[in-house]
Each structure stands twice: as structure tokens, then as C-alpha cells.
Structure 1
Amino acid sequence: MNQAWKSYPSSIRLLSIAAVIFSTGMACIWPLVTIYIHEYLGKPLTTAGLLLMLNQGAFLIGSLAGGMLFDRWGKMKTIVLSSLGIIVISLFLGFTANFTAYTVLLLLSGLFYGMLSPVMNALAVVLWPEGGRKVMNMIYVALNAGVAAGSALGGVLASVSFAWTFFGNAIAQVCVFAMFIFILPRHLQAAASGQPDGSVELRAADSQASAALEVPRDAATSVQKVVWGALVLLCAGLLISWIVYVQWTTVLSAYMQSLGISLRQYSLLWTLNGGLILFGQPLIAWIIRRLARTLRAQLLLGTYVFALSMLILSQTTAYAGFVAAMFVMTIGEMLVWPAVPTVAAEFTPQGREGFIQGLVSGTGSAGRMLGPLLGAFIFQTFQAQGLLYIMAGLSLLSVAFFVLQGSMQKRGKRRGIQATIEK
């Protein structure tokens, strides 16, 4: 384990520690938001659901804005603005019990969290461009480790006072802010000095693709159109995957209760999810070596696994079936979520790392917004069986989008290479 940790550059190890602390603080709050609104502020659950949807909308806007600011305004300036915004809002949330003020602060919190979230992946791309799926998987695992720790810590803090969940988050974000301010700049400077002078049109994963970047202006424009088309297809597949995944946190939780499965048993499924993400990396490494040696294969396999989990649920109402389906869904999650930003990074134009990772992060937020509404409508119209079959079908639609994305990306590389030969 220690040897594997040392195989990462020091800048990535630092970023991973920051990601753990960042998500630990965030997880002190978010699992308890619905309970806080319903029980502490005395509002109905429908109000809590509406606020969470609006929060995800603010997160989406923040992701896009943060990504553009990261590229155009400056990396450290974007980090400082978003980090300070989170810290200040968390402190205010701890001191207010007014519902109107809480609503405004929750939306602002989503905005600033959205600005900072894509920074983690964008920094990983900038600090270690050769890291590929290895670095993205590290950030993914680090964020989930923080979620596991923060969820447990949030429960302890809430038992003292709900205000301390917000204060705990503020303290964690102060630590992240200090790491970014006092340690990160020298790593960014080192990464910048290690890059060749001059601009390139695109970043690619291999030397042939890199050679394809030096192309005539007309050919470069054609290649760029294909690449941006591939990005749209990638985000479409990710959006649908999130719509499928989020059913576990919304409609399926209510469905399980209607079957007589307790909330405690439902919570244990997420314990399984977190434990598998943290301790199941050797299993995922084995699956990738045997079944998904390329990023494209990893992405497709993970999406097929999403469909399989829904089909398992369609054939059972027993708790053991839900355990099996959650195990399968988590395997799919561990394959898909790190693969998407890695694929996006492969054809990211230099200087646009923030925007592309912000777009990927915002797409996930859009899926978390649309998923509950679409799932509830399908459930009411077609019942549980209909929902599960439709979600399995949507997973296969994601597969189609990812296949088209891969084909379009290859076409862009071929055009670039051909243009270079003709040049």
C-alpha cells in the first residue's frame, strides 16, 4: 500500500489529501440536509426535496462558472474565491435558524461548491498530465473516503448540535484552503515549467495523437469539431448514467420501505457501497486487467453493469436481492465515474482543463437534478417493474452514446494524423 502511494507524484498525493478533507467537510452537512429542513426548521419533505433540487441547479451553474474561471481568471484566484465562499457560508449556516436565510445560503453553498468541485480533477490533469485513469481513480477514491469519514463525523457533530455540522465543515474547508494557498502554488509552478513552450490544439493520450495536433488551420478546425462532438456524446452518456444511479437515493429508497425493508437496512446498503469503493480497489484492478484494458472498454463495461443491477432488482423483492444489486451497481460506479473525466482529459484543449472538467461535473449535477423527477414520474406511471426495466434500457442508451463518442474521438485522431501526413 505504501509503495503504491509513493508511486504518485508528491503534488498528486497532496491533492488527494486535500480531496479527502474537502469531501469530509462536505459530508458533514449533506446527508443531514433533509433531516435538518424537516425536523429542525419544521418544513415538509417536499420543501426539502425542492431545495435540494435548486441546490443541484446552483451546483451546475457553479461547475461551469468555476471551470471557466479556472482557465481564464487563474487557478489560485478561483480556488481562493470558491474556498472562502464555502467557509463564510458554512459559518453563517451554523448561526442561522431562519428558513429564508437558510434557503439563500444553501443555494450559495451549492454555487461555491460547484465552483470548487471540478478544480480537483482539473488540477490533477494540470499537475500530472500523464496520470490518465490512475490519477482520476485516486481522486475518486479520495473523495469517497472523505464521504465515508464525513458521514460518520456529521452524525457525531449533529448529536451535539446541528450548528456544529456546519462549523465542522468550515474547519475542514479552512484546512483545504491553507493547503492550496501555502503548498499548491510551488507544485503548479513546477508543473508549468515542465511543459513545453507554445500552444497545442489538443491533448491526447498517445504519441500518435500528439503528432496529430500540429495540423493546418482548416484541418485543425475540422478535428476540433469532431472532438467537441465527442465531448457532447460523452456528457450525454454520463447524464443518463447519473439519472439511473440516483434512483437508489430517491425512488428506490421509498420502494424498499413499501416492501417492509427498514431504513437501517437501506443505510447498510450505502455502508456496503462506501466499503467496496475504499477496499475493493484490488478487485477493480483485476477486472480492468482482465476485462477492460482500455478506457473505452472500462466505460462500456461499467454501463453494462449499471443495466445488470437494474435487471437484478426487477427479478426480486428480497433484501438479499437489493444487496446483490447494490454490489453490482457499485462495481459499475467504480468503473464509470473515474473513467469519464479521464476520457475527457484525453482530448482536452490545453488551457481548457477547468472548463471541460467543470462541464463533466455539471453534467453529473444535471443528472442528479433530473433523476428524481423522471424516476418519480415513471414509478407513478409504470410501477416499480416498469421503472427498473426503463432504467436498464436507459443504461443501454448510455452504452450507445459512449460507443458513438469513442468512434468520433478515433475519427478526430485519424483526421489529425492524416492532415499531418499531408502537411
Structure 2
Amino acid sequence: MEKKWRAYPGSIRLLAIAAVISSTGMACIWPLVTIYISDHLGKSLTVAGLMLMLNQGAFLGGSVLGGLLFDRWGKIRTLVIASIGVILISIGLAVTENFTAYAVLLLLHGLFYGMSSPVINAFAVVLWPQGGRKGINMIYVAQNAGVAAGAALGGVLASVSFSWTFLGNSMLQVIALLLFTIGLPRYIRQGAVNTGQMAVQGQGESAEQTDIDRPFLSRKAIWGALLLLCAGLLMSWIVYSQWTTVLSSYMQSLGISLNQYSLLWTLNGALILLGQPLISWVIRRFARTLIAQMLLGSYIFALSMLILTQTTVYAGFFLAMFVMTLGEMLVWPAVPTVAAQFTPPGKEGFIQGLVTGTSSAGRMLGPLCGAMVFQAYSASGLLYTMTMLALMSVGFFALHHRIVKRSSKPQPPVTVVGKM
């Protein structure tokens, strides 16, 4: 394990450690937001759900904004501003007892957190362009490790006071910010990139990056490919989000307890953290390319929904979650990696922001779409509809690959100068 860890460049290891700490802080509060709004602030579950949807909308806008600022204003400065915003707003959430103030702060929290999310992936792309899937997958695993730790820590802090969950998040974000501001400039100045393709100039305020393996596409082809890639990701997230919303209620109607439902997410987190050898074997055997990973993962999403159409017992849900998690481990890291492959140099932040924003859009639309279909056509109608959406994502990913393959040309030498 230590040997594999040291196989990554120091910059990626630093990003992963900071991502664990940051996501641990965020996971302290998100599982408890609905409870806090309904029980502590005295609002209905409908209001709580609306606030979470608006928060995801703010996250979407923040993702695009953060990506633009990463490219045009300054990479580290964008991360610093976003992190400071999250820290200050978390402190505000801890001390407010007024619902209106809480609602405004929750929206701002989504905006600033959205700004920081694509920046970490974009840094992984910029600092280790030859890493491909490995760098972004490391960030993905690190963030899930943080989610698992944060969910447990949040429960402990909430047992003392809900305010401590927000304060705990702010303190962890301070630690992550220190790692970013102290560690990353050092790697940038020293040019500590595995392939030496990040050359720092002057005071470390600009860098030159080239990536000879990146396919060259026309502007029209880039946007067409990106649109199809995001459409496939959107469909996948709509399917996946049913597990956190409609399916939880459906399981309770079948007599499955909340503790049993929570155990499914324990399985999800454990498989992501401990199942990397398994997913590596799957990739080597069945999905050697990134497009193959996305296609296989989408088929697996569809299989997970089909399993649920044939069962009403807990063992069936357990199996379906196992299968769905395998699909997640294939699709979620592959999409931003594929997007990075045809991203024009200097646009890494913007493209990663669009990808992150698309995921947020899926989390926004999924609960609403799922609830409407469930009410109109019952559980079986929902599950078959989600199966069709998963297969639609297969189609979008396949069309994306077709555009990239037909439009790719040899890449000319490029030089990009951008602020750090």
C-alpha cells in the first residue's frame, strides 16, 4: 500500500490529503442539514428539501464560476477565496438561529463550496497531465474516505451541539486551506511534477504546460463532445440520486429499517475505499480505455435498477447497491479524466467546472424526477424508467466517443501561460 502511495507525485498526494480533510468537514454537516432545518429551526421537510435543491443550484453556479476563475484569475487564489468563504459561512451557520439568515448562508455555502470542487480536479490535471485516470481517481477515493469519516464525526459532534458540526467543518477547512497555500506553491515553484511538464517561470506566477497525448479537436467538436459527455453524466447522476431519495422511502414501505438502509451506504463507502484492486482488475479485463469504463459503468447502473425490479427483500437491495457502486467507481473518475483529455490548455478549470456542475444538476433533478415518476407509476415504473435513463447515458457516451474519434487530429505544439 505504501509503495502504491509513493508511486504518485508529491503534488497529487498533497491534493489527496487535503481532499480527505475538506470532504470530512463537509460530510460533518450535509447528512444533518435536513434534521437541523426541520427539528431545530422548526420548518417542514418540504422546506428542507427545497433548501437543499437551491443549495445544489448555488453549487452548480459556483462550479462554473470557480472553473472560470481558475483559468483566468489565478489558480491558488481561486482556491483560497473559495475556502475562506466556506470557513466564514460555516461559522455563521454555527451561530445563527434565524431561518432567513440560515437560508441565505446555506446558499452562499453552496456557491463557495461549488467554487472549490472543480479546482481540486483541475489542479490534478494541471500538475500531473500524464496521470490520466490515476490522479483524478486518487482525488475521488480521498473524497469518499472523507465522506465516510465525516459522517461518523458529524454524528458525534451533533450529539454535543449542532453548532459544533458547522464549527468542526470550519476548523477542518482551515487545515485544508493551510495545506493548499503552504504545499502547492512549493510544488509549483520546484516544478515537482512527475513528468516535468510544469515549468515555473519568474516568481512562480506562471507556468508552461504541454501534453502531447491530448487529442486536438476543433472548437465545434470540443463543445459537441463536451455536451454529449455531460448529458451522459447527467443521466447517470439522475439514476444514482434515487438511492438517496425515493428508494430510501420505498425501502421503508417494504419494512426495511433505516439502520439497514444506512448499512448500504457503509457498503458503498467500504467498497470504494477497499475495492480499488477489484475495480483495477475489472478495468484491465473488461475496460482498458476510458470510454469503455464509462460505457461499462452505465450498463452496470442499468443492471442495478433491473435487479431492484425483481426483488423486494433486503438482500436484493444489498446486491443492487454493490453493483451500483461498481458502476460509480467506473464512471465518476472517468468522466472528468475524459473531459481533461480534449480540454484546450488553459481551460482546465472551466471544463472541470462544467463537469462538476453537471453532477450537481443531476443531484437537483434526480429527486424531483424520481418522485414524479414514483407517484405516477409506482416503484416498478420508477425502476424501469431509471434503467432507460442509464441506457441513454450509454448512448450519449458512445456518441461522444464517435465525435472525438472522427474529429481528432494530431496536436500542434502549444504553450500556455497562466497565473498560479
User: Are 2:93 and 1:93 aligned?
Assistant: yes
Encode CA deviations 1:73-131: one digit per residue, 9 max, x unaligned.
Answer: 10111111101100000011111111111000000000000000111100000110001
Contact 1:203 1:349 in 2 (8 A): no
Relative to structure 1, the CA distance from residue 419 to residue 110 in structure 2 (aligned partners, 3 Å threshold; closer, same or farther) is: closer
User: Are 2:25 and 1:30 aligned?
Assistant: no
Relative to structure 1, the CA distance from residue 204 to residue 331 in structure 2 (aligned partners, 3 Å threshold; closer, same or farther) is: farther
Contact 1:58 1:110 in 2 (8 A): yes
One-letter code of the match for 1:99? F
Amino-acid identity (%): 68
Q: Distance in 1 between matches of 2:27 and 2:223?
A: 34
By how many angstroms is 1:202 displaced?
Answer: 9.1
Contact 1:201 1:349 in 2 (8 A): no
Contact 1:34 1:45 in 2 (8 A): yes
Q: Distance in 2 between matches of 1:162 and 1:289?
A: 45
* Corresponding residue for residue 394 of structure 1: 389
> Which structure 2 residues correspond to residues 22-421 of structure 1 after superposition, within 5 A?
22-189=22-189, 190=191, 194-195=197-198, 205=213, 209=215, 213=216, 223-413=218-408, 416-417=409-410
By how many angstroms is 1:187 displaced?
Answer: 1.5
Q: Distance in 1 between matches of 2:175 and 2:259?
A: 33
Q: Distance in 1 between matches of 2:365 and 2:128?
A: 34
Point out where structure 1 has 5 or more consecutive residues left out of the alignment: 214-219
By how many angstroms is 1:54 displaced?
Answer: 0.1
Point out where structure 2 has 5 or more consecutive residues left out of the alignment: 414-420
User: If the length of structure 1 is used for normalisation, what is the TM-score?
Assistant: 0.93
User: Are 2:20 and 1:14 aligned?
Assistant: no
State the SS of the aligned residue for 1:402. Answer: helix
Contact 2:10 2:192 in 1 (8 A): no
Q: Distance in 1 between matches of 2:9 and 2:264?
A: 34
Relative to structure 1, the CA distance from residue 245 to residue 182 in structure 2 (aligned partners, 3 Å threshold; closer, same or farther) is: same
User: If the length of structure 2 is used for normalisation, what is the TM-score?
Assistant: 0.93
Q: Distance in 1 between matches of 2:389 and 2:380?
A: 14
Q: Distance in 2 between matches of 1:60 and 1:20?
A: 21
* Corresponding residue for residue 217 of structure 1: none
Encode CA deviations 1:55-87: one digit per residue, 9 max, x unaligned.
Answer: 000000000000000100101111111011000
By how many angstroms is 1:195 displaced?
Answer: 3.9
Q: Distance in 1 between matches of 2:361 and 2:160?
A: 34
* Corresponding residue for residue 416 of structure 2: none
How large is the Cα RMSD of the aligned pairs? 1.9
Q: Distance in 2 between matches of 1:24 and 1:199?
A: 31
Q: Distance in 2 between matches of 1:200 and 1:24?
A: 33
Encode CA deviations 1:348-402: one digit per residue, 9 max, x unaligned.
Answer: 1111110000000000000000001110110011110010001001100000000
By how many angstroms is 1:201 displaced?
Answer: 12
Relative to structure 1, the CA distance from residue 34 to residue 306 in structure 2 (aligned partners, 3 Å threshold; closer, same or farther) is: same
Q: Distance in 1 between matches of 2:324 and 2:211?
A: 32
Task: Give the structure with the higher percent helix.
Answer: 1
Relative to structure 1, the CA distance from residue 34 to residue 417 in structure 2 (aligned partners, 3 Å threshold; closer, same or farther) is: same
Select between 239-248 and 174-183 the one with higher mean Cα deviation. Answer: 174-183
By how many angstroms is 1:181 displaced?
Answer: 1.2
* Corresponding residue for residue 5 of structure 2: 5
Count of residues paired in the alignment:
405
Contact 1:126 1:191 in 2 (8 A): no
Contact 2:26 2:150 in 1 (8 A): yes
Relative to structure 1, the CA distance from residue 327 to residue 204 in structure 2 (aligned partners, 3 Å threshold; closer, same or farther) is: farther
One-letter code of the match for 2:213? A
